[in-house]
């Protein structure tokens, strides 16, 4: 069985923060980042939200049986055979020799 869905989502949201915050800090200290605070922090926030969205796609939340209207326990049923349906109009049979 794979990792817990909550762990996948937390990891998917934490990886962009762990990547981009140190990157912007090093660029700011080493080269002088001329971006405003709103721009680089917004970049980190949007990357985090994109990671969270991908984490939700990778491990979607479970839907309770009550929400779907399905019974929680299904009783085994006998398979039923259906009669084949006939088309609405059948062409007249062709008789040979006439």
Domain-embedded: residue 22: yes
Residue 35 counted as domain residue: yes
Quickly list DSSP for 52-93: HHHHHHHSPPPPPHHHHT--SSPPP----PPPPPPPSS-PPP
Q: Could you tell me if residue 78 is inside a domain?
A: no
- Kindly report, residue by residue over 44-61, the tens digit of the pLDDT: 999 999 999 999 999 888
Q: Please, are residues 24 and 40 in contact by the beta-carbon 8 Å criterion?
A: yes
Residue 16 scores a pLDDT above 90: yes
Question: For the chain, how many structural domains are there in total?
Answer: 1
Does 66 reside within a domain? Answer: no
81, part of any domain:
no
Given this model, what pLDDT does residue 32 score? 87
Does 39 reside within a domain?
Answer: yes
- Expressed as residue numbers, the domain containing 48 is 5-59
Q: Are 20 and 50 a contacting pair, CB within 8 Å? A: no
């Amino acid at each position: 069985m794979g990792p817990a869905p909550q762990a996948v989502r937390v990891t998917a949201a934490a990886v962009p923060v762990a990547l981009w915050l140190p990157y912007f800090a090093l660029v700011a200290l080493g080269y002088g980042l001329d971006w405003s605070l709103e721009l680089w922090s917004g970049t980190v926030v949007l990357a985090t939200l994109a990671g969270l969205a991908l984490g939700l796609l990778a491990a979607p939340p479970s839907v309770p049986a009550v929400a779907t209207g399905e019974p929680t326990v299904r009783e085994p049923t006998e398979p039923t055979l259906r009669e084949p349906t006939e088309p609405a109009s059948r062409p007249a049979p062709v008789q040979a020799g006439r």
